[in-house]
Homo-oligomer: A and B are copies of this chain.
């Protein structure tokens, strides 16, 4: 199977990866969440090759994750901002960062922390059940596969 076809699968993970699963895309979004908005800044801070960055930005705009807005006529200049759809990727960015903090940080510890504005603490947000409020880990949930949606219907998450 070709990578460009994964969005056709009936799987929310595959479909999400068809939008943000390419090289450099998530680094671009990391910068977008750090208020970076312009081509040159994205280029310098991610290190992505310019032709690839141009292509990724275009694709993210087409997918509705970023919007391209003019901030100057003569010469025409544009900036890229997160849409509501893009802002909704915040949990993906945070969980990627959290895992890296936990497993990939050097001796100096994580380079970036998140201060929770409400309580003031620097925290690593984690997953909780919206119904009962309990913390949710890999052994706390069972996948429920809709009829006919998946080839195999496996049980709970494995160890």
List chain A positions with a Cβ less than 8 A from chain B.
1, 3, 6-7, 10-19, 21, 23-24, 26-27, 30, 32-37, 44-49, 81-82, 85, 87-106, 108-119, 121-146, 149-152, 154-159
Contacts and interface: CB of A to CB of B under 8 A. Distances in A.
A142 B117 contact: yes
A134 to B, nearest CB: 6
A96 B89 CA distance: 8
Contact of A118 (B11, B89, B140, B156): B140
A152 to B, nearest CB: 7
B114 A141 contact: yes
A138 B27 contact: no
Q: Which 10 pairs of residues, A with B, have the shortest CB-CB distance? A: A12-B100, A1-B47, A111-B149, A15-B104, A35-B158, A119-B132, A90-B138, A16-B100, A125-B127, A128-B128
7 contacts: A12-B101, A34-B152, A35-B156, A90-B157, A91-B126, A124-B130, A128-B133
